[in-house]
Amino acid sequence: MRSVVDGRDSVVVLPTGGGKSLCFQAPALAMEGVAVVLSPLISLMKDQIDALRDNGVAAASVNSAMSPGERQQVANDVRAGGLKLLYMSPERLMNERTLGFLHDQRVSFFAIDEAHCISDWGHDFRPEYRMLRALKEQFPEVGVHAYTATATPRVREDIARELHLRDPEMLVGSFDRPNLNYRVVRRKDVFHQIREVVDRFPDDSGVIYCIRRADVDELCARLCAAGYAALPYHAGLGDEDRRRNQDGFINDRARIIVATVAFGMGIDKSNVRYVCHAASPKSLEAYQQESGRAGRDGLEAECWLFWSPQDFLTWRKIQQDLPPDASQIAMEVLQGIDRYCSALECRHRLLVRHFGQDLEKQNCGACDVCLGGVELVEDRLVIAQKILSCVLRLKESFGAEYTSQVLIGDTDEKIATRGHDRLSTYGLLREHDKRHIREWIDQLQGQGFLVRAGEYNVLQVTPPGWQVLRGETLPMLAKPHVRERKSRKTARTASSSSSDAGRIDLGSWEGVDRELFDALRKLRRQKADEKGLPPFIVFGDATLRDMARRRPSTLPAMRHVHGVGEKKLADYGTDFVATIVEHCERNGVSLDANVEFVEAVEPEPEEAPAPKQLSPVKATAFAMFATGKSLEAVQQATGRALSTTAQYLFEFIEDHRISDSSPWLDADTFRRISLAGLKVGTEHLKPIFDELGGDISYDQIRIAIGCLRNVGNDE
C-alpha cells in the first residue's frame, strides 16, 4: 500500500485469499483520481465490484457485456470524479479511444491483477497481457503495480521486465496456506474417492477439477445421478450456460461445480471448503492457483489430488503442438507437478520451496505426510537399492513398466529374447505386486533418485540415487494403498500461534452455537437474494461463526464481531441482532458471551418424532423401494394404481431422506430436471415442467426434486 501511495512501481505476490485486492483497493480510496484495475475475466471483475459497492465504495467496470448507454454512464461518472476504481480488460485499456479518454482524466495508478498472465513461464500465459508493456510509455508519471498469487522468482522477474517497471518494489508474502489440508492419493476408483470427500461436506461448497471437458460432463452426470447437486463448467459450454452455472455455484444454489481449468481465476467465492483434482494439473503454479480456491476466508479447508502417471502422458499429448520454446517450458513445469505427486515429503514444504521459500516448521500438521496418513515400508532401503540396481543392469535404457516386469520375474517373451531373465536383478521383488513396484519407482523419481529421460521416458539413476545404492541416504517408500488412519484433522489458521493461548481461533468451531449458525446462514441467504448478491459478500462464514460465538444483543456489541464494519452494521446489523436475540431467548442461551472464555453451547436435542404408522400395503411398498425396486415392480406387487404407487414413493423419499434417484430415474433425466430447477426454482413443479418442454412427467420431476432437496441444496 505504501508503494502505491508513493507512486513507486511494484510486483506483489500473495497467496490466494491473502489480501491482494485490498493492497490496491484501500490506497485507491486515499488518493485523488480513479485507479484503473486490469483483470482478465468479466466474472472476476463483477465479484469484486459487488463486494466493493456493498461496502459503500464507488467502483464500476467497462466490458463487452454492457450496453453503449451503460458504458457512457461509467465515463460520465469518471469525468465527474464519482468513481474510485475502474475495472477493465487489458485489450480494452489499450484501445486507442480508451487511452485517449484516460489521458484527459486523473488516473491515480494502474493495478494489474493476475499479472503472471504476462509471462511465458506463468501457468496461464495470455498474449493480450503483453500489450500492457506500453503503459509506462503512455503514462510515465503514473505508478504501475502487478499482483499475482502464483509467481516463482523467474516469473516475478519476467513480470517486471515485460511491463517495463522502473525500479519496482518486489513484495512477496508467504506462499504457505496453513488452513489448507493437502492430500495426495493415487487414483483408483476416482468417483468413489471423490464421493468420500464430498460426503464429508454435505452442506458446504466444493470444486472438482478435471483435465478434459468430456471428463467434466461424465463426472458431473454421475454425481447428479447419485443425488448430488452438481453443475458443469468448461469452455465447451455456451457463454450463457457458463454464466448461469457459475452464478448457481457462487450463490449457493448448487454446492458442487465440476470444471476444467477454464474455471480458474473467475471465482471469488470465499467459503469453498474443499477442492478435488480428479487428475493431476499441468503445473505446481496451476495447482497452487486451483487448490487456492479453497479456504479463502481463512477457515479450514481440504485439497485432494487424485493422480495417476497416465495424467502426465495426457498433458504431454495436449501440449505436443506447442511451439518448441513453449513446449520446453511446458515440459519443465510438468515435471515439477510430477515430482510433487510422487514425493513423500511435507506438501506445504514442497509447495513453498517451489516458489523460493522455506517452511520453518518440521511438521505442518496439515498434510497427509505430516498427519501420518502415509505409512512407510520398513525395508525401504533394500527395496530402493534393488530397483536402482535393476535400472543400472538394464543399462538405463528402459521405462518404469518394463523395469517392474523384470523385478517381478515376468515371463514375457521380450524379456527372455533380450536375455534380461538372466540378470541378477530378475525376480528380485517377485513377492510384491507390479503395481506397487511402479508406485515405488514413481516415489524414487519424486525424491530425485531417478529421472525419466528422452522421448521414451527411460529411467536413469541420479547422483543422489547412487548415494542410496551406497547406503548413504535413506529414501521414503510408502506402503501401497494404505487408508488414512485419521478421518479429519483441521489445520490451524494463519491467524493462530502459540501466543494465542486462552483465545479462541476465529477459524475454529470452539464456542460456536451450531443451531444459531445455521439460522444466521438462512438469514444471510435471504439478504443476499434481496440484493442479488452472493451470500459470502453479505458476511463470510468466519463472521457468522463469530456471531454465533459472541451472540451480541445490541448494535454496539455487534461491532466487536470479526468482519462487521460500519457499513455492514448499518445494512444488516438490526436483522442479525434480532435473529440472535430471538434464538437465545427461545433456547435459554446466554447473550453477549465473552469470547476470551466462552464455552461451546450445545443446542438442545430435538425430541425424536414418533415413528409413522404405515398401512400393510404402504409398508410393503416402502420395503421394496428401500431395495431399489422400480415403480412398475412395486405397483404390480401392491396392486395399486400407478399414481398411488408414485405417491408412496414421494413419501418414502421424504421420510427416509433419500438423495439418490438412480433406482427410478436415469442420469440424463435427473440432470435435465436439476438444471431446470436451478434455473426456475424448485418451489413449484409447473415452471420446471414448462422449462423442459413437457418432455418429462410430473411424477419424474417430483422424484428428482424430492431427492435434490434431501441433498441439502438450499440453505
Give the pLDDT of residue 83. Answer: 92
Average pLDDT of the segment spanning 181-191: 91
- Checking DSSP bridges between strand 458-461 and strand 256-259, what pairing results, if any? unpaired
600 or 104, higher pLDDT: 104
Distance separating alpha carbons of residues 35 and 21, to the nearest angstrom: 12
Helix axes 190-199, 213-225, angle to 10 degrees: 60
The full DSSP string for 450-465 is EEEETTTTEEEE-HHH
Residue bearing cell 522421448: 455
Q: Is the pLDDT of residue 357 over 90?
A: no
Answer whether 655's CB lies under 8 Å from 667's CB: no
Q: Is the pLDDT of residue 265 over 60?
A: no
Run of H or E including 250:
helix 239-250
C-alpha cell, 250: 457462487
C-alpha cell, 271: 467459503
Band (686; pLDDT cuts 50, 70, 90):
confident
Q: Is the pLDDT of residue 712 over 70?
A: no
Return the percentage of the chain with pLDDT > 90, whole number. Answer: 29
Distance separating alpha carbons of residues 386 and 392, to the nearest angstrom: 10
H runs (alpha helix) in 609-711: 616-626, 631-638, 642-655, 667-680, 686-691, 698-710
Cβ partners under 8 Å of residue 281, min gap 6:
209, 261, 287, 290, 337
Answer whether 652's CB lies under 8 Å from 703's CB: no
700 or 343, higher pLDDT: 700
Residue bearing cell 492457483: 289
Residue bearing cell 466444493: 206
Strand ordering across the sheet containing 230-233:
180-186, 301-307, 272-277, 205-209, 256-259, 230-233
Distance separating alpha carbons of residues 274 and 299, to the nearest angstrom: 11
Distance separating alpha carbons of residues 539 and 527, to the nearest angstrom: 10
Q: Is the pLDDT of residue 481 over 60?
A: no
Q: Phi and psi of 442, rounded to 5°?
A: -60, -40
Average pLDDT of the segment spanning 566-580: 88
Return the percentage of the chain with pLDDT > 70, whole number. Answer: 89
Write the pLDDT tens digit of every residue in 497-547. 333 434 455 556 778 888 898 899 889 988 888 887 778 788 888 889 889
Run of H or E including 273:
strand 272-277
Give the pLDDT of residue 505. Answer: 56
Answer whether 213's CB lies under 8 Å from 236's CB: yes
From 291-305, 326-340, 603-617, 683-697, the region with the lowest mean pLDDT: 603-617
Write the pLDDT tens digit of every residue in 546-561. 899 899 988 888 888 8
Distance separating alpha carbons of residues 356 and 139, to the nearest angstrom: 33
Closest CA to 650 of 633, 625, 686: 625
Distance separating alpha carbons of residues 62 and 128, to the nearest angstrom: 17
Band (268; pLDDT cuts 50, 70, 90):
low
Band (336; pLDDT cuts 50, 70, 90):
confident
CB atoms within 10 A of CB 12: 27
573 or 495, higher pLDDT: 573
Give the pLDDT of residue 596. Answer: 43
The full DSSP string for 575-628 is HHHHHHHHHHHHHTPPSS--TTT----PPPPPPPPPPPP--HHHHHHHHHHHTT
Distance separating alpha carbons of residues 694 and 690, to the nearest angstrom: 6
Q: Is the pLDDT of residue 387 over 80?
A: yes
C-alpha cell, 457: 521416458
Answer whether 319's CB lies under 8 Å from 423's CB: no
Distance separating alpha carbons of residues 403 and 390, to the nearest angstrom: 7
Q: Is 166 helix (H, G, I), strand (E, B) or coil?
A: coil
Write down how long the chain is: 715
Distance separating alpha carbons of residues 176 and 351, to the nearest angstrom: 8
Give the pLDDT of residue 175. Answer: 84
CA angle 327, 11, 171 (to 5 degrees): 115
Sign of CA pseudo-dihedral 514, 257, 111, 179: positive
Q: Is the pLDDT of residue 125 over 70?
A: no
Q: Phi and psi of 669, rounded to 5°?
A: -65, -45
From 44-58, 68-82, 279-293, the region with the lowest mean pLDDT: 44-58
Distance separating alpha carbons of residues 360 and 496, to the nearest angstrom: 16
Sign of CA pseudo-dihedral 163, 167, 173, 176: positive
Distance separating alpha carbons of residues 702 and 649, to the nearest angstrom: 10
Average pLDDT of the segment spanning 109-136: 81
List domains and CATH numbers for the chain: 2-172 (3.40.50.300), 180-354 (3.40.50.300), 380-469 (1.10.10.10), 505-587 (1.10.150.80), 616-710 (no CATH)
Run of H or E including 436:
helix 434-446
C-alpha cell, 360: 520453518
Answer whether 303's CB lies under 8 Å from 231's CB: no
Sign of CA pseudo-dihedral 311, 265, 241, 237: negative
Distance of CA 272 to the CA centre of its chain: 7
Give the pLDDT of residue 330. Answer: 76
**Encoded amino acid at 382, one letter:** V
Closest CA to 35 of 15, 54, 52: 52
Distance of CA 665 to the CA centre of its chain: 30
Closest CA to 561 of 548, 574, 578, 570: 548
Q: Is the pLDDT of residue 44 over 80?
A: no
Write the pLDDT tens digit of every residue in 498-512. 334 344 555 567 788
Band (314; pLDDT cuts 50, 70, 90):
confident
Answer whether 490's CB lies under 8 Å from 300's CB: yes
C-alpha cell, 326: 513453449
Q: Which residues pair with 148 in a beta bridge?
A: 13
Give the pLDDT of residue 303. Answer: 96
Give the pLDDT of residue 491. Answer: 39
Q: Which residue pairs, CB below 8 angstroms and at least 24 apart, start in 45-52?
A: 45/87, 45/88, 47/250, 47/267, 47/268, 47/534, 47/537, 48/21, 48/87, 48/268, 49/85, 49/87, 50/533, 50/534, 50/537, 51/268, 51/537, 52/25, 52/85
Integer angstrom CA distances of residue 76 from 64, 81, 209: 18, 9, 42
Give the pLDDT of residue 675. Answer: 79
Closest CA to 146 of 16, 38, 12: 12
- Checking DSSP bridges between strand 85-88 and strand 34-38, what pairing results, if any? parallel
Q: Is the pLDDT of residue 689 over 60?
A: yes
CB atoms within 10 A of CB 314: 16
Q: Which residue pairs, CB below 8 angstroms and at least 24 apart, start in 554-562?
A: 554/592, 557/592, 562/506
Distance separating alpha carbons of residues 435 and 592, to the nearest angstrom: 59
> SS3 helix, strand, coil % of the chain, rounded to 5?
45, 10, 40
146 or 584, higher pLDDT: 146
